[in-house]
Protein backbone atom coordinates (compact mmCIF):
# COMPACT_ATOMS: atom_id res chain seq x y z
CA UNK A 1 0.00 0.00 0.00
CA UNK A 2 3.02 2.26 0.09
CA UNK A 3 2.78 2.96 3.83
CA UNK A 4 6.10 2.55 5.60
CA UNK A 5 5.00 1.31 9.05
CA UNK A 6 6.65 -1.33 11.19
CA UNK A 7 4.52 -4.27 12.37
CA UNK A 8 2.47 -3.52 15.51
CA UNK A 9 4.77 -5.59 17.73
CA UNK A 10 7.64 -3.24 16.84
CA UNK A 11 5.73 0.03 17.19
CA UNK A 12 5.57 2.14 20.32
CA UNK A 13 2.63 2.17 22.71
CA UNK A 14 0.93 5.37 21.51
CA UNK A 15 1.27 4.74 17.77
CA UNK A 16 -0.34 1.30 18.22
CA UNK A 17 -3.11 2.76 20.38
CA UNK A 18 -3.82 5.49 17.83
CA UNK A 19 -3.68 3.19 14.80
CA UNK A 20 -5.78 0.37 16.23
CA UNK A 21 -8.20 2.65 18.06
CA UNK A 22 -8.91 4.90 15.10
CA UNK A 23 -9.60 2.02 12.71
CA UNK A 24 -11.75 0.20 15.23
CA UNK A 25 -13.68 3.29 16.33
CA UNK A 26 -14.55 4.31 12.77
CA UNK A 27 -15.53 0.82 11.58
CA UNK A 28 -17.44 -0.04 14.76
CA UNK A 29 -19.26 3.29 14.68
CA UNK A 30 -20.31 2.82 11.05
CA UNK A 31 -21.51 -0.73 11.65
CA UNK A 32 -23.42 0.25 14.78
CA UNK A 33 -25.03 3.13 12.91
CA UNK A 34 -26.06 0.90 10.01
CA UNK A 35 -27.45 -1.97 12.05
CA UNK A 36 -28.78 -0.36 15.25
CA UNK A 37 -28.54 3.36 15.82
CA UNK A 38 -30.25 4.43 12.59
CA UNK A 39 -33.44 2.57 13.55
CA UNK A 40 -33.29 3.72 17.17
CA UNK A 41 -33.02 7.40 16.30
CA UNK A 42 -30.05 7.88 18.60
CA UNK A 43 -28.70 11.46 18.85
CA UNK A 44 -25.52 12.19 16.90
CA UNK A 45 -23.49 13.24 19.94
CA UNK A 46 -24.17 9.92 21.67
CA UNK A 47 -23.19 7.99 18.53
CA UNK A 48 -19.94 9.91 18.12
CA UNK A 49 -18.99 9.74 21.80
CA UNK A 50 -19.73 5.99 21.87
CA UNK A 51 -17.57 5.36 18.80
CA UNK A 52 -14.72 7.48 20.20
CA UNK A 53 -14.89 5.74 23.58
CA UNK A 54 -14.96 2.28 21.95
CA UNK A 55 -11.98 3.20 19.75
CA UNK A 56 -10.07 4.63 22.71
CA UNK A 57 -10.60 1.55 24.86
CA UNK A 58 -9.83 -0.88 22.03
CA UNK A 59 -6.68 1.04 21.09
CA UNK A 60 -5.40 1.11 24.67
CA UNK A 61 -6.08 -2.58 25.23
CA UNK A 62 -4.39 -3.54 21.96
CA UNK A 63 -1.36 -1.37 22.77
CA UNK A 64 -1.02 -3.03 26.18
CA UNK A 65 -1.36 -6.46 24.56
CA UNK A 66 1.25 -5.78 21.86
CA UNK A 67 3.71 -4.28 24.37
CA UNK A 68 3.24 -7.36 26.55
CA UNK A 69 3.97 -9.69 23.62
CA UNK A 70 7.01 -7.68 22.54
CA UNK A 71 8.48 -7.83 26.05
CA UNK A 72 7.59 -11.51 26.47
CA UNK A 73 9.43 -12.43 23.27
CA UNK A 74 12.23 -9.90 23.89
CA UNK A 75 11.83 -8.27 20.48
CA UNK A 76 14.32 -5.55 19.57
CA UNK A 77 13.29 -2.18 18.20
CA UNK A 78 12.35 -2.08 14.50
CA UNK A 79 15.42 -0.01 13.64
CA UNK A 80 17.71 -2.60 15.29
CA UNK A 81 15.87 -5.40 13.55
CA UNK A 82 16.17 -3.79 10.11
CA UNK A 83 19.82 -2.74 10.37
CA UNK A 84 22.23 -4.99 8.44
CA UNK A 85 24.14 -7.49 10.53
CA UNK A 86 27.94 -7.77 9.96
In this predicted structure, the answer to whether residue 82 has a pLDDT above a threshold of 80 is no
79 falls within a domain: no
29-74 per-position pLDDT tens digit = 999 999 999 999 999 999 999 999 999 999 999 999 999 999 999 9
Q: What is the CA radius of gyration of the chain?
A: 17
**Is the pLDDT higher at 83 or at 49?**
49
- Do 59 and 17 contact (CB within 8 A), yes or no? yes
38 falls within a domain: yes
43 falls within a domain: yes
pLDDT grade for 86, boundaries at 50, 70 and 90: low
11-20 per-position pLDDT tens digit = 999 999 999 9
Task: Record the pTM.
Answer: 0.86
Number of domains the chain is built from: 1
Enclosing domain of residue 42: 12-74
Amino acid sequence: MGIDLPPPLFMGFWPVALLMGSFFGVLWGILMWLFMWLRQGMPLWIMLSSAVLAGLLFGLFMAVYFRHLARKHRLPSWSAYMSPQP
